[in-house]
DNA sequence: CATGAATGAGGGTTCATTCAT
DNA sequence: CATGAATGAACCCTCATTCAT
């Protein structure tokens, strides 16, 4: 009987009574995504301290009141954008750096990927620059893995034995400054690599080694067509 | 007799009406200082993007209208605080670093002084952290002299030959991150020196050299009792 | 049965969601009218140059913020009152004067109607007097038709051949002065007719002719119960 | 003894102790005049309802506080300008019209003089237009003499026997409209005369007679070099 | 008296949030 | 849930007036 009248399942069409909730849930999800897209654009434009709700709902073509069915506060909205973006960036970067054995190369590559993504997506750079240090450090997979990578590198002797706090602060600060620079104007294509090399020196590598591990080809990184960033970019262009 | 007791003349004590402008100017200057003190505290508390005027006049125990006799906008006020603070910091740091011949030691010492000052004056750290990259880079003597110092160091071969833009971004970013960290919680006394050493590595020095130039005794740096910072600290404590 | 009791269709009573917009639009329109009523009273009391918004929202028993959902500026509000009033006055006067063949009688009758309306509605007189020459000339059907009527009268030889500019100024000035007088105190019932007769003389008619065309019975002119003026009068009385 | 040591007298130099008060009174008078000049300009520019005191003291180069040693309110200031101007206009016009026997010519000439003065002094036109009906009617010698002149004309049969109130209103209204027009843009040299002729018709004269009494040469009317208007014009030009 | 800073009431405007429909 | 008008607190700013010097 169960097989004959499955209540639910991935391949089964939902019963008529199931249909409405599913459609509703999809509608709800679409709306949420629209709001997040709009919010990313508005935060990038006006900063995270500005009055955004009116602009966000206008950009999302949603009523003021509806907003509060999805987000209670400004911060919740900002966090949602950050979570979503962070996830998408991790999904692009993780596969590239996950298999790298050398911790120095791994760290350098992660930084380079992160910054190259920002550099080739101005909206992303502007949002991250506006979001600030806290979000960079909090919502970033690079930072979650960084302590382990750094320790590993220190144990292997490729990084100098300096307190982790210090270098974490410096990586964060350098990242913010780089994002700010890229958000604010044109930078050469090598800019992310140079920042990465400098960071490798900060970690204690020699000049030549630092340059080496921050060089070499990177795979093409591209956001999916229905990713938040792609959608937001398209909407921002219009 | 008349010649012996002249009723007026260039060397005579001023007539009553002569000291009135001076007294008025002093009153005005005191008021301006009160506002700047209060503004520093409020900016440190609420950030530079917030609505501060109401809080500033409340802290200064002055009427709303008076504010506009001194500053037209938020930005003017922020600039005034920045200018004043910057001047005071420069007056403390310049004598210490001005005579140092070695550019590496000079840069490291300037950074250490700057950060030590911030570390021992939490209000300063919080204000500078809130004020952000732009103010750090714009209203700071360290940054004005930095390009020349870096070039000199690069010519002498103690710093790696890296584009100046890049290193300026990195120094700015590191400074911001360090200020943010110190503003946000306790840090060990060695924190500024460790940041400075790391920066020296970033600039291309070896680990040992970097540590060496960022070590050694620093003279005691203390703000004058009627400096903006001292007054603001006293007021903030109350 | 389904065909007999269709669930929806063009002729069916609207679904619940269909009448919501209509209800909302009606609410909005009522609010707008409340504001315009209040504004008319306040403008009549304080003049058009004064700060009215606070008084208007107080009179309308509406929050400050709501005002800005309807009008952006003082001038927009004034224009709205003027448009509405002008429309209502035209709707009363046009039918009376539209069929009059003799241009002299037509002009005189229009002026008499206009002034009689003001005289019997002190709030109207006070508002128009406060609004001033510009509004009188701009938002008044009498003034739109006046040039043509005057030219016709001049061609027929009943009016003197005087530049139109001059007579338009004179009619406007006379109207303003009459409104001011009526707004400021009691005037005899014949006052509008005497003003009209004097204007006819100004236009070049002889004394007897002028008196003749500005005499004779006028139909009763009364604003509808839900006209702006009626509502404002009722509210002002309370 | 009295002749030998006169305490005061028109031709005697004042005693040293008398000197100070006289100088002070002159200073005071100069200052008052400066304020009135500035006020006239500011009223003409911004209207009589606007916030003027700051502009007036700025234009007069006087301190805010001093203002209140001369005028208590806005209205007092406006009245002072009006009184002064009115006096000066009367002093120019009275000699011209005082000797005219024919009341029609007398009235027409007074109106013409008044409007010609305004037309050739844009600052005057702008001030009078801004000041409005009340000031025109209240502070104007033409209006003080007008009732008598009109009665005389009516008795002589040159004016129609219509209520004085009515024609006074119309003269005031026409004057305001004419001032407004002249304040607002260029008008032909004959404009004042045409207005005057129209007013003569309003009073009951035939077209030809009206034109006749409002024609003919007028003496040149010029304000003295140290009149309020002359000083204000000079200051406004600067 | 002259000065000009200090005052504070008042006006204009924005915007996050609520709520009836 | 979606809607969008209503709300009111908060903010910015002006300006007539006062008052110590």
> What local confidence, expressed as pLDDT, does residue D143 receive?
86
What whole-number distance in Å separates Cα of residue B152 and Cα of residue B161? 11
> What local confidence, expressed as pLDDT, does residue A4 receive?
47
Chain D contact set for C74 (CB, 8 A): none
- How many CA atoms, within 13 angstroms, populate the side-chain half-sphere of residue D155? 8
Which of B176, B199, B214 is the best residue to mutate to test the A interface, defined by the most A CB atoms within 10 Å of its own CB? B176
Q: Dihedral angle at the C-alpha atoms of B73, B77, B79, B83, nearest 10 degrees?
A: 150
Residue recorded with tokens 């050739």: D120
Residue recorded with tokens 């919502």: A139
Q: Which mean pLDDT values do the consecutive 10-residue runs of chain C (238 residues) have?
A: 43 52 86 97 94 95 96 93 95 94 96 97 97 90 89 96 93 97 96 98 97 96 96 92
> What local confidence, expressed as pLDDT, does residue D87 receive?
94
Chain B contact set for A207 (CB, 8 A): 160, 204
Nearest protein residue by Cα to C1' of nucleotide F20: B24
Nearest CA to B166 out of A214, A85, A157 is that of A214
> What local confidence, expressed as pLDDT, does residue A25 receive?
86
Q: Sign (positive/negative) of CA torsion D82, D188, D194, C148?
A: negative
Task: Tell me how far CA of residue C178 lies from CA of C49, C143, C196, in angstroms.
Answer: 21, 16, 10
Which of D162, D173, D180 is the closest to C174 by Cβ? D173
What whole-number distance in Å separates Cα of residue C18 and Cα of residue A184? 49
Residue recorded with tokens 């400054």: A177
Chain D contact set for C172 (CB, 8 A): 177
On the question of pLDDT at D1 being above 50, the answer is no
3-state helix, strand, coil in chain C (%, to 5): 70, 0, 30
- CB B72: neighbour CB atoms within 10 A? 10
Of residues B55 and A1, the one with the higher pLDDT is B55
Nearest CA to B182 out of B108, B118, B230 is that of B118
- For B31, the enclosing helix (H) or strand (E) is helix B16-46
Q: Do D195 and C49 touch (CB under 8 A)?
A: no
What whole-number distance in Å separates Cα of residue D132 and Cα of residue B9? 55
3-state helix, strand, coil in chain D (%, to 5): 70, 0, 30
- CB D41: neighbour CB atoms within 10 A? 23
Straight-line distance from CA A51 to C1' F10, in Å? Answer: 13
Query: Do at least 3 CB pairs under 8 Å connect A with B?
Result: yes
Q: Which two tokens stand for residue B235?
A: 């007021």
State which residue of chain A sits closest to B209, comparing Cα positions. Answer: A204
Between A57-61, A140-144, C129-133, D48-52, the lowest mean confidence (pLDDT) is in A140-144
On the question of pLDDT at A207 being above 60, the answer is yes
B185 Cβ within 7 A of any nucleic strand E atom: no
Nucleotides of strand E under 7 angstroms from a protein beta carbon:
1-21
Per-residue confidence at A20, pLDDT binned at 50, 70, 90?
A: low
On the question of pLDDT at A223 being above 90, the answer is yes
Determine the straight-line distance between the first and last CA of chain A, rounded to whole angstroms. 53
> What local confidence, expressed as pLDDT, does residue C120 receive?
97
In degrees, rounded to 5, the angle at the alpha carbon of residue C66 between the alpha carbons of residues C64 and C68 is: 90
On the question of pLDDT at A16 being above 70, the answer is no
**pLDDT (tens digit per residue) in A49-72:** 998 999 999 999 999 999 999 999
* Domains of chain B (ranges, CATH numbers): 78-237 (1.10.357.10)
- Smallest CA–C1' separation from C16: which nucleotide? E21
Which of D50, D159, D195, D201 is the best residue to mutate to test the C interface, defined by the most C CB atoms within 10 Å of its own CB? D201
Query: Do at least 3 CB pairs under 8 Å connect A with C?
Result: no
Tens-level pLDDT at each residue, chain B (238 residues): 444 444 444 444 444 456 667 788 889 999 999 999 999 999 999 999 899 999 999 999 999 999 999 999 999 999 999 999 999 999 999 999 999 999 999 999 999 999 999 999 999 999 999 999 999 988 887 788 899 999 999 999 999 999 999 999 999 999 999 999 999 999 999 999 999 999 999 999 999 999 999 999 999 999 999 999 999 999 999 8
Percentage of chain A with pLDDT > 90? 82
> What local confidence, expressed as pLDDT, does residue D149 receive?
95
State which residue of chain A sits closest to B169, comparing Cα positions. Answer: A177
> What local confidence, expressed as pLDDT, does residue A178 receive?
98
Between A126-135, B7-16, D126-135, the lowest mean confidence (pLDDT) is in B7-16
Contact C125, C179 (CB under 8 A): yes
Contact D94, D141 (CB under 8 A): yes
- CB B197: neighbour CB atoms within 10 A? 27
Q: Do B162 and A50 touch (CB under 8 A)?
A: no
Give Cβ neighbours of residue B214 (< 8 Å, ≥ 6 apart).
B108, B111, B112, B193, B194, B196, B197, B200
Q: Which two tokens stand for residue A90?
A: 């991790």
Over residues A28-48, mean pLDDT? 95
Subset of residues 38-77 in chain C with CB less than 7 angstroms from any atom in strand E: 51-54, 64-65, 67-68, 72-74
Per-residue confidence at A238, pLDDT binned at 50, 70, 90?
A: confident
> What local confidence, expressed as pLDDT, does residue D27 receive?
87
On the question of pLDDT at A12 being above 80, the answer is no
- State the burial class of residue C76 (Cβ atoms within 10 Å of its Cβ: 0-12, 13-18, 19+): exposed
Nearest CA to C173 out of D164, D172, D134, D202 is that of D172
D58 Cβ within 7 A of any nucleic strand E atom: no
pTM beyond 0.85: yes
Helix (H, G, I), strand (E, B) or coil at A51: coil
Q: Do B201 and A176 touch (CB under 8 A)?
A: no
What whole-number distance in Å separates Cα of residue B85 and Cα of residue B91? 10
On the question of pLDDT at D115 being above 80, the answer is yes
> What local confidence, expressed as pLDDT, does residue A2 receive?
42
Over residues D113-136, mean pLDDT? 96
Q: Do C207 and D202 touch (CB under 8 A)?
A: no
> What local confidence, expressed as pLDDT, does residue A17 receive?
58
Straight-line distance from CA D169 to C1' F7, in Å? Answer: 48
According to DSSP, residue D15 is labeled P
């Amino acid at each position: 009987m169960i097989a004959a009248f499955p209540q639910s399942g991935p391949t089964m069409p939902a019963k008529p009574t199931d249909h409405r909730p599913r459609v509703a849930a999809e509608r709800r999800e679409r709306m949420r995504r629209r709001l997040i897209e709009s919010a990313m654009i508005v935060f990038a434009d006006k900063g995270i301290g500005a009055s955004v709700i009116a602009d966000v709902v206008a950009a999302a073509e949603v009523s003021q009141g509806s907003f509060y069915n999805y987000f209670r506060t400004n911060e919740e909205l900002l966090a949602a954008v950050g979570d979503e973006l962070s996830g998408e960036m991790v999904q692009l970067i993780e596969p590239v750096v996950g298999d790298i054995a050398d911790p120095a190369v791994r760290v350098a590559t992660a930084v380079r990927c992160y910054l190259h993504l920002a550099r080739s997506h101005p909206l992303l750079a502007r949002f991250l620059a506006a979001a600030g240090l806290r979000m960079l450090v909090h919502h970033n997979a690079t930072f979650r893995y960084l302590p382990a990578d750094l320790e590993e590198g220190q144990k292997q002797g490729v990084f100098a034995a300096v307190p982790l706090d210090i270098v974490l602060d410096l990586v964060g600060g350098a990242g913010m400054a780089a994002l700010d620079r890229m958000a604010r104007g044109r930078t050469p294509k090598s800019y992310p690599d140079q920042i990465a090399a400098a960071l490798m020196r900060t970690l204690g590598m020699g000049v030549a080694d630092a340059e080496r591990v921050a060089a070499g080809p990177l795979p093409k990184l591209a956001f999916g067509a229905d990713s938040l960033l792609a959608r937001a970019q398209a909407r921002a262009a219009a």
